[in-house]
């Protein structure tokens, strides 16, 4: 039962928190354009991470896929949404005054 929690809940949360920390750094230090590039690379690395966690849980930990996969994908998607809103917040804070004046 602890394997479901570790691999299905805790692992996707930690992985997305790592992406969130790097994403916030990229937005604040490098700007919104670099952040969009990082978002593209992040999509690929998160997909590989999700596939690896699925493989690890089903093949090595022998977890029931009918329980594990929905648990994993739910927490993966939820933390992904949280990450998106946090990054969007920092992107909006990082907009120059000139661009704010242009917006309606």
Structure confidence by residue, pLDDT tens digits, 33-88: 898 889 889 989 999 999 999 999 999 999 999 999 999 999 999 999 999 999 99
Burial of 102 (0-12, 13-18, 19+ CB in 10 A): exposed
pTM: 0.85
65 and 1 in contact (C-beta within 8 Å)? no
CA 91 to chain centre: 16
Tell me the pLDDT tens digit for each residue of 1-25.
899 999 999 999 999 999 999 999 9
Residue 61 dihedral angles phi and psi, to the nearest 5°? -90, -10
Task: Check: CB of residue 94 under 8 Å from CB of residue 27.
Answer: yes
> How far is residue 70 from each of residues 4, 15, 77, measured CA to CA in Å?
11, 17, 10
């Amino acid at each position: 039962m602890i394997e479901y929690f570790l691999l299905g809940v805790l692992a996707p949360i930690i992985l997305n928190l790592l992406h969130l920390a790097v994403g916030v750094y990229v937005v604040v230090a490098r700007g919104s354009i670099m952040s969009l590039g990082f978002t593209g690379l992040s999509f690929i690395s998160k997909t590989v991470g999700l596939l690896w966690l699925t493989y690890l849980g089903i093949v090595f930990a022998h977890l029931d896929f009918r329980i594990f996969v929905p648990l994993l994908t739910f927490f993966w998607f939820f933390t992904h949404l949280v990450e998106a809103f946090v990054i969007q917040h920092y992107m909006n804070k990082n907009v120059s005054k000139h661009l704010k004046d242009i917006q309606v």
